Amino acid sequence: MAQETIPPELIGSPAGELLAAIGGIHDRIEAAQSAFRAKAAESGAALGCPEGCGSCCENFVPDVLPVEALAAAAFILGHRPDLAGRAAQSQGPTCPFYDADRPEAHCSIYPGRPLVCRLFGFAAVLGKDGEPSFALCRHMPSPVGNGERAWSDEALRGLFGAVPPVMAAFGAELLGLEPDAAGERRPLPEALPAAIARLGLALRYASLGRGDDGDEPEPNAPSPRAA
């Protein structure tokens, strides 16, 4: 989530800081993926998804941490409030934000999508030996004439001249944002209502802090740190 998608009222607040931190992770993933793909293209082994493909969102619902749900909620409330009820109507095995009718942009919450959605297709995994390896998504064409679809660390450096971002490293960074919530990973549609409520509370505190409506927070009201 880019800085500009953080509600301006929350900038500098605990919720705003959390959104900025997850935005920083998103930016670094994007930069690492772009660098890897640029290197691969330079090396003559360009990688890419077939045009219009969105198969990774079909029969899949991402599990998210609360902070990821918060980022999705911030995008939805700020840019696509019409989607706020979509999670509640969610049924079946496919993510409720997948739009099969828009092949140019299947994900309706793209700027606020979770980590797994960002990393899928262009991320390395760590083996038992601690070395990264990378395998193509089964829908992605092989970029090499011999049809190879998976590479070790050494082979990656030889063929592509780079290694894609390591999924576990970004997962650990994400967990570090709210370590106490590590056990609260849930499917996005289940996590989203609480995240929307959490964001609403943070916005309410932000407006009270500015005195927009002349109200003061109740003495025993939950602290904005909870948001």
Q: Which two tokens stand for residue 200?
A: 């609403």
CB of 134 vs ligand SF4, minimal distance in Å: 13
Question: Which 152-211 positions form the footprint of ligand SF4 (CB under 6 A)?
Answer: none
The residue among 83 and 206 lying less far from ligand SF4, judged by its C-beta, is: 83
The residue among 111 and 224 lying less far from ligand SF4, judged by its C-beta, is: 111
User: Can you spell out the DSSP letters for 69-116?
Assistant: HHHHHHHHHHH-GGGTTTTTT--SSS-TTB-TT-TT--BTTGGG--HH
Residues of 97-121 as b/e, b for ≥16 C-beta within 10 angstroms?
bbeeeeeeebbbbebbbbbbbbbeb
The residue among 15 and 109 lying less far from ligand SF4, judged by its C-beta, is: 109
Question: Which 33-92 positions form the footprint of ligand SF4 (CB under 6 A)?
Answer: 49-50, 53-57, 60, 62
Among 65, 140, 192, 195, binds ligand SF4 (CB under 6 A): 140
CB of 106 vs ligand SF4, minimal distance in Å: 6
Cα–Cα distance measured from residue 30 to residue 52, given in angstroms and rounded to the nearest whole number: 20
CA dihedral 29, 99, 79, 21 (to 10 degrees): -20
CB of 89 vs ligand SF4, minimal distance in Å: 14
> Look-up: residue for tokens 């959104």?
19
Question: Which 107-126 positions form the footprint of ligand SF4 (CB under 6 A)?
Answer: 107, 109, 113, 117, 120-121
Stretch that binds ligand SF4, among 79-87, 93-101, 126-134, 199-207 (CB under 6 A): 93-101
Total interface residues for ligand SF4 by CB under 6 A: 21
3-class DSSP state of 223: coil
The residue among 187 and 209 lying less far from ligand SF4, judged by its C-beta, is: 187
The residue among 6 and 47 lying less far from ligand SF4, judged by its C-beta, is: 47
In sequence order, which residues have a C-beta less than 8 Å from that of residue 86 and are 6 or more positions away? 96, 97, 108, 189
Q: Which two tokens stand for residue 148?
A: 């190879």
Closest Cα partner for 67 from 174, 171, 197? 174
Binding-site ranges for ligand SF4 (CB under 6 A): 49-50, 53-57, 60, 62, 95, 97-98, 107, 109, 113, 117, 120-121, 137, 139-140
